[in-house]
Amino acid sequence: MAQLRFMALDLVNKRPKKDVDSEGSTKISDYFEKDVFSIKEMRTNLAPSIYKKVSKAIEKGEKIDPETADSVAAAARAWAMSKGATHYTHWFQPLTGSTAEKHDSFFDPMSKLEKFKGSALVQQEPDASSFPNGGIRSTFEARGYTAWDPSSPMFIYGATLCIPTIFVSYTGEALDYKAPLMKAVDAVDKAATKVCQLFDRKVTRVKPSLGCEQEYFVVDKALYASRPDLVMGGRTIFGHNPARGQQLDDHYFGSIPTRVYNFMKDFEKEALKLGVPVSTRHNEVAPSQFEVAPVFEDMNVAADHNILLMDLMSRVARLHELEVLFHEKPFSGLNGNGKHNNWSLITNTGVNLFQPSSSARDNLIFLVFFVNTLKAVFEHEGLMRASIASAGNDHRLGANEAPPAIVSAFIGQQLSAVLDELEQNGSVKVDKGDNMYMKLGIDKIPEIILDNTDRNRTSPFAFTGNKFEFRAVGSNQNVANPMTVLNLIVADQLETFHSEVEAEEGKGTEKRLAIVNILRKYIKESKAIRFEGDGYSDEWVEEAGKRGLSNVKDTPRAIDAYLTEKSKKLFAENAVMNEVELEARNEIMWENYIMKIQIESRMMGDLAMNHILPTAISYQNKLIVNANGLKGLNIDHDSITTTIKEISKHIENIKNGVRDMIEERKRINKIEDSRDRAIAYCDDVKAKYFEDIRYAVDKLELLVDDEDWPLVKYRELLFLR
Ligand code: ADP
Ligand code: MG
């Protein structure tokens, strides 16, 4: 039974202890974007007139005409072939959660030449019948197509030119993550630009930006392969906590184990070649847990880069005999994996709208965006929660040792004081000739708002100086989902704000005063979303309940927030998604959830019955022989008998648990409605059986002889050197 475990451990011990190699260029500028058909490459490789058209189209987010596309395609092919590429592919993000590609050769056997037409660059029809579509395609159209997104540069991966694309049905419904995100980016651009123009006519475009802090675990490949639960579901469904977990906090910011360091250097280099601007690396809280973060970029590109990076990390890890775990909770009892989404809005004039400044006027702009964001999050907290829902993230949000599933915003002491003062100055009258900024107390927002002591690690949505950080995002998620929601709700809120300002101005109110009064109203209305205390505490859960904030702990119910009348209206009015698309997506998420729990449940049954029980029984038999022997010799054997009884009890519990769980699955699988089925899987399979079965197995791990135990243990998985 335990053979596989010891073979794997043996392999790990024999891994060559390579030192960090220092060959190759260490100057990043030598290879940064080497494999990217960047703006710079376009300028070099395109005729000036074509380049001008393309860069304008990219800058303004406009369509590219067929002739221009032909020229771009020809140049991209020549460039790609000069770098050894033989194929091209439309690279897209279907709702399966990973990326998809179908490679086509540049070589045309008819003409015996390499070819790549503009039409093939712009649009392609993948054989997509097996991608999830939540019933859209069967109801409306049989086919979908991918369409080029010129704002995200093409890159070479392996020997293939990858073209970032969106994936939509012929009737226009989005079948991917990227299309809605791009629409939400447009919506926030439009709304934020309008609001900026209340102050500054030179602002003609506002772009959301994103920097993702990606957490992950690294384990040895052989150990990983020996644990079917990791291979199939990305997390350990059994395993007792090691004697030395993360209590000591010694891993955090400690030195990085050599094997992992080599891996990091390697994937970072590959990432940089692909234009992913990775810049920081460090150990995380748990043993064998790490983080990588790139410098922030335009929303759309950053989102693409995040999944590209995850894919790349998995591939490079295997070359180092390692495996990366992006699951939100690979190990119980240890810190989970999150992905902080750092977000801000930046104008074409180079101003970060979330950067407080020393000028009073600019601070009013800052306050407008700051307060509107808080108001948006308050109005749509349920939707924010829904946007980060997944079976994996359910283990982080609202579960043990994790932040609750409540969305709240942390803004720090100083800004809280600013908002409080603004709110309380409600009756201040501002007359002509007054310094209104001073009178309203908004002339003195300190420029550097947060120092490191004013950080709150427990807040799901925190203001950190010049950006907001959506921290409750799951590490394994495509960030397009939460970022679509965040950009959309802020867009919608800014539109409302703009109309309200116009209406007030129409009544003859001075513009700045109108703005301040509306902000005051928002500050009052959205107060419930602000929370500065310990987000992990029980008091907060209670307090949040009193404030009317939602606390939905599981995915099947959390995603209901997408389908409320309020949400449907929000998505439709801002042209991000229609009702059909929203419903289809929920359908896919419920089905996906069911699949995940089903797999884990089967895996649990299989491991428990076929690996754990036989091991426990055979060990128990040894003890019985021993007890009988002792008895024959008239030696006290009470403690052995006690252990035998204990083992029996756990065996019994496992057997009954697995049997009942299987019966439940059979019943649930007959439920027609996918939401009901997902909820049943959540309540009647996962909640009812997983912990009990695990408890018994983990107890057996402590009782059974280490030599016999079939699964690689936590201490073996986690202390990689
Ligand atoms: P931490 O949150 O740990 O202090 P940093 O301040 O270094 O980390 O930033 C984390 C991430 O936030 C990085 O990816 C960084 O590029 C990104 N970031 C910084 N400024 C902005 C901004 N204005 N908009 C979006 N992301 C930003
Ligand atoms: Mg952070």
Could you identify the atom of ligand 1 that is nearest to the CA of residue 294?
14
- Is residue 94 predicted with pLDDT exceeding 50? yes
Distance 340 CA to ligand 2 centre (A): 6
Distance 337 CA to ligand 1 centre (A): 18
Cβ atoms 425, 441 nearer than 8 A: yes
Distance 460 CA to ligand 2 centre (A): 11
Residues lining ligand 1, judged by CB closer than 6 Å? Answer: 209-211, 213, 293-296, 342-344, 352, 464, 466-467
Pull the structure tokens for residue 368: 């407008």
Residues 501-513 have a mean pLDDT of 93
Partner residues linked to 162 by β-bridges: 89, 155
More confident residue, 451 or 260: 260
Distance 566 CA to ligand 1 centre (A): 32
Pairing state between β 409-410 and 461-463: parallel
CA–CA separation, 455 and 98 (whole Å): 33
* Lowest mean per-residue pLDDT among 54-58, 359-363, 369-373, 555-559: 359-363
Question: E strands, 284-389, where?
Answer: 289-294, 297-298, 322-325, 339-347
Q: Whose CA is nearest to atom 6 of ligand 1?
A: 464
Planar angle of CA 147, 343, 464, nearest 5 degrees: 170
3-state secondary structure (DSSP) of residue 534: coil
Q: Whose CA is nearest to atom 19 of ligand 1?
A: 296
3-state secondary structure (DSSP) of residue 694: helix
- Is residue 128 predicted with pLDDT exceeding 70? no
Side-chain-side CA neighbours of residue 81 (13 Å): 13
* Lowest mean per-residue pLDDT among 73-82, 170-179, 352-361: 352-361
Distance 213 CA to ligand 2 centre (A): 7
Identify residue 640 by its one-letter amino acid code. I
- Is residue 1 predicted with pLDDT exceeding 90? no
Side-chain-side CA neighbours of residue 551 (13 Å): 18
At 273-297, the pLDDT tens digits run 999 999 988 888 788 999 999 999 9
% of residues, the chain, pLDDT over 70: 91
Distance 448 CA to ligand 2 centre (A): 16
Could you identify the atom of ligand 1 that is nearest to the CA of residue 344?
24
DSSP 453: G
Closest listed ligand to the CA of 467 = 1
Closest listed ligand to the CA of 338 = 2
* Lowest mean per-residue pLDDT among 132-141, 186-195, 329-338, 418-427: 132-141
Could you identify the atom of ligand 1 that is nearest to the CA of residue 352?
23
Q: Which pLDDT score is estimated for 575?
A: 96
Q: Whose CA is nearest to atom 11 of ligand 1?
A: 211
More confident residue, 694 or 125: 694
Neighbours of ion ligand 2 (CB under 5 A): 340
- Is residue 139 predicted with pLDDT exceeding 50? no
Cβ atoms 576, 488 nearer than 8 A: yes
To the nearest 10°, report the CA torsion of 516, 522, 523, 529.
-160
Could you identify the atom of ligand 1 that is nearest to the CA of residue 343?
25
Q: Which pLDDT score is estimated for 441?
A: 66
Q: Best of 284, 341, 342 to mutate for ligand 1, by most ligand atoms within 8 A of CB?
A: 342
Distance 306 CA to ligand 1 centre (A): 14
Contacts (Cβ under 8 Å, ≥6 apart) of 483: 181, 184, 208, 210, 299, 303, 341, 343
Closest listed ligand to the CA of 461 = 2
Could you identify the atom of ligand 1 that is nearest to the CA of residue 295?
16
| CB atoms near residue 316 (< 10 Å) | 20
Pull the structure tokens for residue 463: 């203001």
Q: Which pLDDT score is estimated for 301?
A: 97
Q: Best of 285, 296, 345, 490 to mutate for ligand 1, by most ligand atoms within 8 A of CB?
A: 296
Closest listed ligand to the CA of 253 = 1
Identify residue 17 by its one-letter amino acid code. K
Q: Which pLDDT score is estimated for 190?
A: 97
Q: Which pLDDT score is estimated for 710?
A: 96
**pTM of this prediction?**
0.95
Distance 466 CA to ligand 1 centre (A): 9
> pLDDT-based confidence at 668, cuts 50/70/90?
very high
Distance 362 CA to ligand 1 centre (A): 21
Q: Which pLDDT score is estimated for 653?
A: 98
Closest listed ligand to the CA of 293 = 1
| DSSP letters spanning 607-673 | HIIIIIHHHHHHHHHHHHHHHHHHHHTT---HHHHHHHHHHHHHHHHHHHHHHHHHHHHHHHHT--S
At 219-250, the pLDDT tens digits run 999 999 999 999 999 999 999 987 665 655 55
Q: Which pLDDT score is estimated for 451?
A: 53
Closest listed ligand to the CA of 340 = 2
Phi, psi of 156 (to 5 degrees): -105, 125
Cβ atoms 35, 243 nearer than 8 A: no
Q: Which pLDDT score is estimated for 683?
A: 98
- Is residue 494 predicted with pLDDT exceeding 80? yes
CA–CA separation, 218 and 8 (whole Å): 16
Residues 419-448 have a mean pLDDT of 69
To the nearest 10°, report the CA torsion of 73, 75, 78, 79.
-110
Q: Whose CA is nearest to atom 17 of ligand 1?
A: 211
Distance 161 CA to ligand 1 centre (A): 30
Cβ atoms 504, 519 nearer than 8 A: no
Distance 475 CA to ligand 2 centre (A): 13
CA–CA separation, 260 and 469 (whole Å): 27
